[in-house]
Every structure is written in C-alpha cells, then in structure tokens.
A and B are shown apart, each in its own frame.
Chain A
Amino acid sequence: MMAEARTGTLRRHHAQEVEAILARYPADQRRSAVMPLLYLAQHEYGYLSPAAVDEVADLVGVSGTQVASLVGFYSLYHDHPGGRVRMQICTDLPCALRGAEAFAREVCQNLGIRLGETTPDGAVTVEEVMCLAGCDRAPMFQAQDDRGIHYHENQTVASALEWVEEVRRTHGV
C-alpha cells in the first residue's frame, strides 16, 4: 500500500469519485457518504491516519472525532499501516469445523509469524476474522488490499502459501 502518500489529495486526485459518492445521498445528508469516503481514503493512503480522518470529516461536515470513532468501530478500516495485503482467515465456527483453525496455524508457521503479524518483508499481514459467508468452501480467506476485497475459497495450506508468493511477485517484495 502507499503509506507514503500525502493526505489532503482526495478532492484533487479523485474529484469525480468524491462527487459521485456524495451524489448517492440526499444533499442534506452528506454524513451518509462517510463510509465510502473512508474506503477511498484508505485505498489512497494505505491506512487511515489522523490527517486522513480529518480530511474525510471535512468532506462530510462532521468532526474528526466522530469519524475516528467509526474507524475504531468497523473492522475493515485500519488506523495503522499493515502489509501490502491483509490475509484475513475466517476461523469462526462453521469454518473451524472444517479445519480452519489448523489451517490458520500452519499458514502462520510457514510464514514464520503469529496471527496479527506482518511478514518481515511487509508483504502480508495475517489476521483472524469472523464469519465471511463462505462456510461451505472452508478453509477460506479474504484478501484486503488497496483495490478492494477478494475471496479465496476451498484453500489448502499449499495454495495459500502459493498465493503469498504471488503477492510478493506482483508487489516486487
């Protein structure tokens, strides 16, 4: 992710997208646009720093504190930089019944990290998450990066590690 990007550029670099997001809601309800704008800021800057939070707050006309509380409340927003991609493994009950806990453990062992940690090269952060509605195709994980979220289902430890290698190749890590 582009953690080095300077904040304060959403209006300049993404004017059309910002306007399109605001246009989805009634003119007197700009605050509704806060969640999509937070995604836009997170994709632009890599994570939601206090400056990024203030920028979004200005766009919708609420206080930075109010927006910061949302970043803390919703699990897909991140106030700290992570790896290029967050590998979020579901270990909730239905997936756990199909071996997801052992899967997560072995993936981490192979990468030499613990759950919640980032590989030393900064490629991948492995996290444990709650149900992703992929219970019939466990073990599974979602990959969250600066373009969005994609599902990887019916996984084995080998296929997951292969995917990590691919992340390293595409990001030149």
Chain B
Amino acid sequence: MASEHILLRHRDVAGLERLDVYLEHGGFAALRAAVTTKSPAEVIDLVKASGLRGRGGAGFPTGVKWSFLSPNVFPRYVVVNADESEPGTFKDREILERNPFQFLEGVAICAYAAQAASAYIYCRGEFWDLAEGLERRIAELKERRLLGANLFGSDFSLEIFVHLGAGAYICGEETALLESLEGKLGQPRLRPPFPAAKGLYARPTVVNNVETLTNLPPIVERGAEWYRSIGTKDSPGTKVFSLSGHVARPGNYELPLGTTFRSLIFDHGGGVPGGRTIKAILPAGASAPMLRATDEVLDTPMDYESLPKAGSMLGSASIIVMDESVDVAWVALKTTRFFKHESCGKCTPCREGTYWMLQALERLHNEGAPGQVDLLVAVARGIEGKCLCPLGEFSIMPVTSGVDRFRPDFSAHEANGR
C-alpha cells in the first residue's frame, strides 16, 4: 500500500510479535507517556479529539463511549471483544497473532483511561492457539513490569486475563459477551442499563474491539491531529479491510477509511480471477445489505457515512466479493443458514423467523414452489425491528436486499426448483 501500516505494522517491521523488537521500535512509550504525563480524563479527551470510531461494526466514537462510564463507581472493567466471528472477517486474528504487543499496549491505555485494574480479553474459542500466545505475552509483560502493580511508579495497576469462548457468534454482541464471561448463556441483555453503567458483574465496563484498541498507542504517541489527517472527516484513520470471495489476492488490507471498493478489489486484491465481472458485494460480512456491483457502488468510498448512502453499511469492513457465476438466492441460503444456527433463541422473531426463512429458502432450492419469495420477504419483515440485539436485523439484510436487487435469481428457483 501507499501509506504506512499503523495497525498491521508487523508487515513493515519484522519480528514485531517479539517483545524485544516491539520495545526497540518504541513499544510502550505511549503507555508510559499516558500514565506519567496525562490524567485519565486527558486520555479520554485525546481519543475523543482523534475521532476514532469503534471497529467492531457499530462505528460508535470510542472516546465518547468511554465518557459514559458511571463516575466514581469502582471497580471498573475493560473487556476486549476478540470474538471475531462475522463471516468474512479475519482482521483481529492477524493483529492478535502478528502485532500482539501493540494490541496489549492499547488495552493498557484503555484501562488507564477507564481507571480499571482488570481487563478481560474474550477470545472466540476457536482462537485457542492465539489465546495461548496472548497469555505467554502477558506473562512476559509482567516480568518486565509493563503490566502488574504500580506501573511506571504510578498508582495505576493492571492485570489482563484471557477468557476463551466456546463457539457462539452471538457473543460478539457486547452484552451477550458479558453474560458469557459471567458464566451464563451468551444471550443479549435489555438496554439500558448500558455496559458503561452496569457491565461485567454489574460494574461500569468498557467493551472495545481488538482493532479499535490497537489504534490507541499510535494516537497517544502522535496525537489527534495526525490521526485526523488520515481517512475522511467523519471516519478518521485507517481500517483493516478483510477481502474474501472471488478475488485474486484475498487477505487483509490496511487502507485509509474512504478508500473505494474499486481500489481495494482491483489495485490491492488483484481483481476477479478469470476476468469475470463482479455481480454482488457484501461489504460487512453477512451482516449488511448486499450491493449490486455497479460503477457507482465500486466508486463508493468505504467509510461509515458513505456506505449507508449507497444502501448498505461499513460494519466490520469484511468485503465479500461475488462474481457473475454466483446465484444470489444461494447466497441468501448460506447467510440464512448461518444466522439460524447462531440465533441465541432469546427473542421469538429471530429464533422462529430465521427458522422459517431457512425453510422457505430450502423449499425454493429443492422444490421451487411459487409464492416462496413473497413468503420469504414477509417472514423477514416480521423479524425487522422486533429483537433485542442486531442479530435478527442482520439476518434479514442479505435476504431482503438480495430479493430487492437480484429478484430474477430468486424467481428462477420459484419457476424451476433447483
């Protein structure tokens, strides 16, 4: 890429996953500066000023989220969402594996700002090896006194613990994650209260995504103005875009927010194999409306404000590219099967609705009964806006956008089956 890597810095600095190399390259200077020269409130103000937005999917301003913590209630907790499970998303995995110390330094900066003495990293259970790696690195940091009691001679102390999930997409939703961390079923909580008031163990809690936290050391070191010079006015900074599907070079690409689909897919991803044309794009894994790959869409800047105008969302920025050979009704079948499997069962519209959407889609594929497409859309409308968490909402997005934008793909099944 043209600009430097801020998050995937291991691509520029060999061996960055080792503590000695990380320290040689300025590691933990940001944490030291934060703890020894700034108050927690000043760190929050700095992060607010940087315009950093949550990279887990919602895009909420990080510093603002922190400022909602109930004042003067302790203990507080920092919980890291490392439950990366959105289909097409594999960015946090690379950060945890290859640039773990920048991430851990970010966790510590966040904990200092939140005045939390304990942080839990909730890793999806499948990241077994990654979790072991993190535990090893946390032990190294303790040995070097970069974690533990009275850091840099201050009264700030921090312990970081790793907690493994066990295979449940829903735990990526922050309140379901907290329930899971408390040893319960991973089912979302009713809000309010929000985690900033009553989170883990009903204590004020900050929940942030891995990529979000990895932004903190460079922001503290180089300042809000520098950060705002990258990306767009409302979406500052870089983003790790996970590119998958029908592209020559799938993988993670760290690019400024506001980069176009065309640039990501063709300049970086090497275009579509076999010279086929792109038919559809899912810009946020399975959890966003599918886009028809028109010239206008391809030239849309990928940032938090432009994607809604184009009829979708940026979400976790997991771009799944599908060429002209793809049947969009099959795509809807795949995403619906995913959401049906992952629905936690708490809200009836999502639990039952994903089941019935899957029934309609399977019937469409197996028998092709007329009227199935309208039935499918009717079930989807029955889920819309009626659930505690966004999973139900996400489940209908590829389906309704698919029918709206690629109706002939569905109608063909209705007429012929298969």
Contacts of A136 in B (CB 8 A): 90, 242-244, 250-252
Contacts of B318 in A (CB 8 A): 135
Closest CB-CB distance, A20 to chain B, in whole Å?
11
Closest B residue by C-beta to A26: B201
9 nearest A-B pairs in the assembled complex, by CB-CB distance: A75-B167, A74-B166, A31-B183, A136-B250, A135-B244, A149-B128, A76-B167, A34-B183, A94-B244
Using A73-B168, A130-B341 as known contacts, say yes or no to A93 and B87 having CB atoms under 8 A apart. Answer: yes
Closest CB-CB distance, B386 to chain A, in whole Å?
22
A41-90 contacts to B (CB < 8 Å):
60, 62, 69-70, 73-77
Closest CB-CB distance, B330 to chain A, in whole Å?
9
Using A35-B165, A73-B168, A74-B167 as known contacts, say yes or no to A150 and B129 having CB atoms under 8 A apart. Answer: yes
Contacts of A29 in B (CB 8 A): 182-183, 201
Judged by DSSP, the binding face of B is mixed
Across the interface, do B166 and A35 meet the contact criterion of CB distance under 8 Å? yes
Across the interface, do A33 and B183 meet the contact criterion of CB distance under 8 Å? yes
A69 interface neighbour in B185, B282, B320, B326, Cβ under 8 Å? B185
A74 interface neighbour in B127, B165, B181, B334, Cβ under 8 Å? B165
Across the interface, do B128 and A130 meet the contact criterion of CB distance under 8 Å? no
B93: Cβ under 8 A from any A Cβ:
yes
Query: Contact mask B206-241 → A, CB, 8 Å, 1/0?
Result: 000000000000000000000000000000000000
Contacts of B246 in A (CB 8 A): 97
B152: Cβ under 8 A from any A Cβ:
no
A98→B251 CA distance, assembly (Å):
13
Across the interface, do A92 and B163 meet the contact criterion of CB distance under 8 Å? no
Across the interface, do A131 and B166 meet the contact criterion of CB distance under 8 Å? no
A39→B167 CA distance, assembly (Å):
12
A8: Cβ under 8 A from any B Cβ:
no
A158: Cβ under 8 A from any B Cβ:
no
Closest CB-CB distance, A92 to chain B, in whole Å?
5
B85: Cβ under 8 A from any A Cβ:
yes
Across the interface, do A24 and B245 meet the contact criterion of CB distance under 8 Å? no
Closest CB-CB distance, B399 to chain A, in whole Å?
13
Using A35-B165, A93-B335 as known contacts, say yes or no to A133 and B93 having CB atoms under 8 A apart. Answer: yes
A108: Cβ under 8 A from any B Cβ:
no
Query: Contact mask A129-169 → B, CB, 8 Å, 1/0?
Result: 11111111010001000001111000000000000000000
A96: Cβ under 8 A from any B Cβ:
yes
Contacts of A93 in B (CB 8 A): 87-88, 245, 282, 286, 320, 331, 334-335, 338
B22: Cβ under 8 A from any A Cβ:
no
A-B contact pairs, 18 of them (CB 8 A): A26-B201, A33-B183, A35-B165, A39-B164, A70-B184, A70-B185, A75-B167, A94-B88, A97-B244, A130-B87, A131-B89, A132-B126, A135-B90, A135-B250, A136-B90, A136-B250, A150-B129, A151-B126
